[in-house]
Amino acid sequence: MDVRIIIISLCFLFVKSDFVIKKNCKDVDTSQCSIHNVAVDPCPRGPRLCVVKPDKAYSVNVDFTPHFPANNIKLALYSDDKKTNTYDTIIKTPEEVCGLVNCPLEAEERKNFDVHFTLGKMLPGKFPIKMVLWNEENKSQQCCFTFNVKIRK
Ligand SMILES: *[C@@H]1O[C@H](CO)[C@@H](O)[C@H](O)[C@H]1NC(C)=O
């Protein structure tokens, strides 16, 4: 095989390595939004989970297609680090994300954006993080997914 092809494939592998396996949120109408890919940078030990440090900055790239239009969208990040299934730890308070996503959102138009976060003080263990993006004018229109992270002892 041509050495250039090998190098290109290796680069591709390297770029792909931060994809993380995502799950649909429970109790959410998943017909409202298709989440194609979620990549966390960096994501050591991916794609099943990312090994993270509480004080380090991470970015999540979300590749999605909303099935609703929206002028005003908000996004928030939560974690279930206490494993109570309530996602009651706020990582990112709800904020307007038109600067990131280019509003308005058109139905069936595929988009992607990056959002940055730092976990802050959390105990070691494996737990999920939830990201929600919603139409502020109709909160049942949302894109929601979870992915797992692990904080080492
Ligand atoms: C909110 O969105 C849902 C799902 O698309 C839709 O069924 C409902 O009619 C919408 N409600 C309003 C008030 O537009």
Residue 101 lies in a domain: yes
Instruction: Report residue 131 as tokens.
Output: 């990201």
Do 144 and 22 contact (CB within 8 A), yes or no?
no
Report the separation in Å between the CA atom of 8 and the middle of ligand 1, taken as the mean of its atom positions: 46
Rounded Cα gap, residues 63 and 70, in angstroms? 17
Ligand 1 site residues (CB inside 6 A) read 68, 138, 140-141
- In angstroms, the Cα distances linking 126 to 65, 117, 139 are 29, 17, 29
Domain that holds residue 44: 16-151
CB atoms within 10 A of CB 23: 13
Rounded Cα gap, residues 51 and 150, in angstroms? 5
CATH number of the domain residue 121 falls in: 2.60.40.770
Residue 47 lies in a domain: yes
Do 46 and 19 contact (CB within 8 A), yes or no?
yes
> What pLDDT, in 10s, does the model give residues 93-112?
999 999 899 899 999 999 99
Residue 50 lies in a domain: yes
* Most ligand 1 atoms within 8 A of CB, residue of 30, 33, 141, 144 to mutate: 141
Residue 44 lies in a domain: yes
Domain count, the chain: 1
Nearest CA to ligand 1 atom 14: 138
> What pLDDT, in 10s, does the model give residues 55-95?
999 999 999 999 999 999 999 999 999 999 999 999 999 99
Residue 23 lies in a domain: yes
Number of helices (H), then strands (E), in the chain: 2, 9
Strand partners, 112: 63
Instruction: Report residue 24 as tokens.
Output: 């649909």
**What is the pLDDT confidence band of residue 18, given thresholds at 50, 70 and 90?**
confident
Rounded Cα gap, residues 53 and 57, in angstroms? 9
Residue 74 lies in a domain: yes
pLDDT, mean over the chain: 91
Residue 10 lies in a domain: no
Residue 4 lies in a domain: no
